Chain A
Amino acid sequence: MTSKLTVLAAGLAGLCLVPSSSAAQDGDAAAGGEIDYNFPAFPADEVQPDATEPVEPPRYSVEATTGIRYQSDSSVLFGRYRGTPDDGPTAIGGFEARGRADWRSDDTEYWEAIGTDLGLPSRSFTGRYGYQGSWGVEFHYDGQPFHWSDSFKTIYDTSGNGTLVANPGTTSTATATFNAGSGAQLTTQSNAWANSAQLEPFLETRDIETQRDLFEGGLTYHIDNRWTFRASASHEHKEGTVASSLLFGQGFGITVRQGNALFSPTGASANALGFNCGICQLVYYAQPVDYDTQRYEASLTFNSPKLQAQLAYVFSKFSNADTSFDALDPFTGLSGSNLPNNIPGGGAIRAAYSLPPSNMEHQVKAAIGYNFTPTTRLAADLSYSLALQDGDQVPATNNPASLYTPSVAAALQNNDDFEGRLLNLFGNVVLTAMPLPKLNVRASYTIDDREDQSSVLTPFRVVGDGIGAPGRGFSPGPTSGDTHPRSFQSQRVKLTAGYRILPGTRVSADYTFTQKSGDYFLSEGTQEHAATGRIRSSFGDWISGSLAYTHAIREPFGPLDPHPLGDNPYGIVPYFQSERTRNQLTAHLDFMVTPEVTVSLHGKATLDDYDLPIAPDDTNPVLTRGAGRRENTSLQIGPDLNYVSRDGTLSAYLTYSFERDFYQSHHTTTLADDTAGNAVVRAAGNDPHYSYRDTQVTHTAGAGAEWQVTDSLRLGLTYSYQNGNLSLETEGGVNPAYIAATADTVGAVNLQNFRLLPLPDVTSELHSVSLTAEYSFTPKISLLAGYAFEHFNFQDYGFDYRAINETTGNALLSGDDDLSYGVHVIGAAVRVKL
């Protein structure tokens, strides 16, 4: 009843469409009449039955595959997305079944069921059923594993639900000793290792992995030939852990800070402001993931040759079961259990850590396209969304010692709830036309507006518990404690004209103007002008190619925006906003050597120059000399060769790609207010400036072939190779001779940290081979066999692969195993067709 009423309502509302749709059908029908051809070249007995013959039964096909695979070794990197990190045998299977009414009939029924990777965490299933042109339903399930580490070591027992506690058996003696070595800046390396070595027996290995399970369902209902209603719903559950780290700091007393105002129950003091990042402490842990994401969408679509339109509503909701947690500080004499006993001297438990908050979004989308003439079309899109986030307030501290102080507890009660409210408007209109037979033009305008209406808060926090309070390295500004809702707007105009100068050659030119502005930008905004010239040509069927060149200039405009954090106190020059000149060249060439062999060459080169920063300032050496990214270039080039035999039984390809990405950045050391509190770096004879040159080179090669040897035998081969090398060069920096000359030992120690010495290259190399064979014993039974081998070698200074006790004295790193691997996989399966 409901559906009838709905259809009726829709039909009545769309009644005014009848004239136009009727006209359209008339137009189609006017294409011509019908004729019965004479086929003198064919014998009469070859004439196929006509449509008056009995309709054949529905056609269907069903096939199932089942087998087993065996993996020689364990590797999280090999099994990262496959869901096969472990060695050993695994049963595998799949099926594919589909049916459809005979094409001669008027029946439109169809159905389909497909299952892949059954037996693996990456399994998937798809089912569809319906009557084409009337209605259809579908269901989809997809499992998506992700394995990051199986050798992640941490001192924490749980993965974060509620409170992280130490692993069972952890003794306060060990943690207290560890703390004794790291509570102040360490002066001896051996002591640090000795202290951290005491914790090693209490570290346990955790798997870092997540599993996504996505369920989707949809309904499509064709109201008539032009109107279609569609509704869909999906639910994704993601569960597991991700690698993360916790930071604990050296607090001096209990101090509550709101904005720039100090609130201290024990009286303000210089030390109360202090937070020295040089002696903070770090612990790696397995962060909990327990996400649910729902998405519901309903749309109404109209389609005719002249006009197309769509109106849709989308609701998306993200829910996190764990939006915050507490962690016991292992640097304060932590033992394995019993929370009250883990607060020696107060402070074993600090401020809560926040995890992604739950959020939701409502979105309305409308799109329309209209063909004024066969070659003139207007298309427009409009999207408006409202995103909300009003999760529970994350406690500023759960430190019992802090909360025990009534005045602190009272202050923290004043923290307002955060009410996140974000409006997004996106609009686009584009006109395409062909005013002359050889000339095509296009004009478009796009606006993307993000208006963050979230509440502006100045939350209370406990300096010693919630790191991030103003202090050394975090200079407070007038409103440093305020939250900063990020609102910005982007507008783009693009004009294109193309002219076909020869039957197979077209030249075109683009001009694009983009303007961005927003709150808390360093200037009012940026403007970019980009021009592109392009030629695309083909000569017969043998050769075709294209060449394009783009020149773009981006500049900031307007005055330097008064920054809420002061006059750019951190030297922040966002590279994505700073002045930039871009030159880009792209080329593509296809050459058909013979009808069987095609060779392609493709290339792309980009050069970005970041010129003077946003606001030259003679008093600021950073801004006058330029800071942050100065240049980046990217080059990618490679040939492809493809072969397909005349009879189609053999196809093969060869491919190679060279890629080089280069980044150069310039920086300034400024120790004037750093650890030692002196300004020695800027003294005469010393150079506070230094630069990085980061080069990434990647070679990729591949080959593959598929060969239908006989009607019963099919073979396949693929090989992939990749070699990557990352290198970092440095230049400038603190002069070692100056360090030797200074009499300030502490200052010298810190200056030493600013010396620039070469880093080792990071290298990776991958070989991947797979062989497959399928042999059909009968038309319905086939045997599939496969072998694969992958070898990956990885050298990275970031992964020292030393025992955990050989890391640093005040950080408990995860000590993951080497990611290099060599894995063989062999498998066999039987495929049966019904």
Chain B
Amino acid sequence: MISRTLLIAGLSGLMALPVVTLAPAADRPTDPEDAAPTDAVYAARGADSCLRCHDQPPATLVLHGPHAVRGDPRTPFAQHDCEGCHGPSASHMGAVGPGRMRPLPAVVFSGPNASPVAERNAVCLTCHQSGLRMTWQSGQHATSDTACVDCHRGHTRRDPVLVKRSQPQVCFACHQDRRADSIKLSHHPIREGKTACSDCHNPHGSPGQAMLRENTVNRTCYLCHAEKRGPFMWEHLPVRESCVNCHDPHGSPQFRLLHQRPPFLCQNCHDRRHNSNPFSGNNLIGANNNPAPPSSAAAAAAGVRAFGVMNSIMLSPRSCLNCHSNIHGSNSPSGRRFLR
């Protein structure tokens, strides 16, 4: 118990060190285009002021969510209720003369009058900047001017992008090519609701490539396919370097999410010195169009195959993997060619 306590204390102290060194008085990170309020005033009645008009869903659904918890001092409702996110909006709540447009709230998150993306995101980042959002600013979504509310819904009982079954539809709105991939012959169970985009990707940005949840492609794959992790006695270089050398995780018209069908996939690297190089035509499995044995050169020239040799097997779906069945790695003394 003491050791655990010391461990926690040590870790806490370690985390505190950079704070002591670097942190001046904290302020809210905002874009320069975000006009900081100078004489901000908030409604004394808080959300009740807003509910006078915005008393129907979806506006009221925020009251059922984690943002509307006054007892949690981290939430906007613990600060200024609705104005915790929408900013001080005195003019919006004030009287409006006949024929005049009601002024907008300080921050409008959606619709034709939405505030600039940087301004909207700054509100969210005030609280949501740690953990998965640590590298938001350098992520591809941030650099392509994506707003948090383009994907997230605060005024709902369950944010669709946080629900595994509905999340892909949110992503497909922009990533239409992935929607097409999800219907292909070979795909992860996205369409069936068992896998979500965020099982592999961190849409808030990632230190690694392709905004993956883990730092590398392989580490991400190992989350579910730990049996491929190894290390193995015999290792296959493209497997170790990146799973996407052979697989397309978003979907493929080939089995096993492969880019190409073996043996053609394998022959992208492996050439000659293997008597299974070319496979076509008469070597189809089960072909019976040339029943005569290739007993002579003339017969061979006429297209008669040497039935029974491995060539025909190479056109079966497993192809090279018929023999090299442990292609992801082998622990057998005879596994150098991944045959065992």
Contact = CB atoms under 8 A, between A and B. Distances in A.
Contact of A318 (B72, B127, B226): B226
Contacts of B321: 245
Given A354-B335, A381-B215, A484-B235, A103 B264 contact: no
Q: Which of A420, A728, A751 has the most C-beta atoms of chain B within 10 angstroms of its own C-beta?
A: A420
B19 A17 contact: yes
Interface stretch (A150-158, A201-209, A426-434): A426-434
B208 to A, nearest CB: 7
A243 B255 CA distance: 13
B103 interface: no
B68 A103 contact: yes
A76 to B, nearest CB: 13
Given A245-B321, A278-B275, A133 B71 contact: yes
A246 B322 CA distance: 7
A787 to B, nearest CB: 18
A422 B230 contact: yes
Q: Which of A357, A627, A730, A751 has the most C-beta atoms of chain B within 10 angstroms of its own C-beta?
A: A357
B36 to A, nearest CB: 9
B183 A700 contact: yes
A290 to B, nearest CB: 11
B31 A374 contact: yes
B305 to A, nearest CB: 6
B149 interface: no
Contact of B25 (A23, A316, A742, A809): A23
A9 B145 contact: no
Contacts of B64: 59, 100, 103
Interface in B292-309: 293-298, 300-301, 303-309
Interface string A153-192: 0000000000000000000000000000110011111101
B72 A133 contact: yes
B311 A753 contact: yes
A247 B71 contact: no
Given A39-B52, A305-B29, A797 B293 contact: no
Given A192-B307, A309-B15, A806 B334 contact: no
A675 B275 contact: yes
Given A28-B79, A667-B267, A668-B271, A359 B69 contact: no
Contact of B46 (A51, A81, A369, A569): A51
B330 A354 contact: yes
Interface string B162-182: 000100000000101101100
A450 interface: yes
A469 B281 contact: no
Contact of B267 (A2, A457, A600, A665): A665
A667 B277 CA distance: 8
B249 interface: no
Contacts of A428: 207-208, 215
Nearest to B96: A41
Contacts of A142: 194
A31 B31 contact: no
Contact of B268 (A35, A39, A628): A628
Contacts of B334: 351, 396, 461-462, 465-469
A701 to B, nearest CB: 9
B4 A6 contact: yes
Nearest to A23: B25
Interface in B212-262: 215-216, 219, 222, 226-235, 237-238, 240-242, 245, 253-254, 259-261
Contacts of A752: 282, 294, 300-301, 303-306
Interface residues of A, number: 260
A244 B94 CA distance: 73
Interface stretch (A554-562, A757-765, A772-780): A757-765
A690 interface: yes
A405 interface: no
A757 to B, nearest CB: 2
Contacts of B30: 374
Given A17-B16, A602-B177, A813 B285 contact: yes
Interface string B101-115: 000000000001000
Contacts of B99: none
A359 B230 CA distance: 6
A39 B32 contact: no
B66 A280 contact: no
B310 A277 contact: yes
A357 B48 contact: no
Given A182-B308, A280-B323, A571-B270, A354 B331 contact: yes
Contacts of B8: 6, 9-10, 13, 300
Q: Which of A142, A389, A468 has the most C-beta atoms of chain B within 10 angstroms of its own C-beta?
A: A468
B210 interface: no
Interface stretch (A65-73, A263-271, A441-449, A825-833): A441-449
A311 B11 contact: yes
Given A37-B94, A144-B189, A418 B129 contact: no
A241 interface: no
A381 B207 CA distance: 7
Nearest to B12: A13
Interface in A640-666: 640, 655, 657, 659, 661, 663, 665
A352 B340 CA distance: 8
Interface string A51-65: 100000001010000
Interface in B18-47: 18-20, 22-33, 37, 39-47
B226 A726 contact: no
Nearest to B93: A37
Contact of B5 (A5, A576, A736, A759): A5
A415 B332 CA distance: 11
B327 to A, nearest CB: 11
Q: Which of B40, B49, B229 has the most C-beta atoms of chain A within 10 angstroms of its own C-beta?
A: B229
Contact of A807 (B88, B192, B286): B286
Contact of A369 (B71, B134, B228, B269): B134
A106 B41 contact: no
B185 interface: yes
Nearest to A42: B52
Given A369-B130, A437-B32, A798-B285, A38 B95 contact: yes
A467 B339 contact: yes
B323 A245 contact: yes
Contacts of A33: 41-42
A280 B219 CA distance: 37
B325 interface: yes
Interface string A614-641: 0000000010000111000000101010
A374 B27 CA distance: 8
Q: Which 7 A-B pairs have the closest CB atoms?
A: A757-B281, A466-B334, A24-B26, A32-B40, A186-B308, A133-B72, A428-B207
Given A13-B8, A759-B280, 8 more contacts: A23-B26, A227-B12, A657-B180, A675-B275, A696-B253, A726-B261, A757-B280, A757-B303
11 contacts: A9-B12, A31-B40, A37-B90, A61-B157, A192-B307, A375-B32, A396-B333, A415-B333, A570-B271, A627-B272, A698-B184
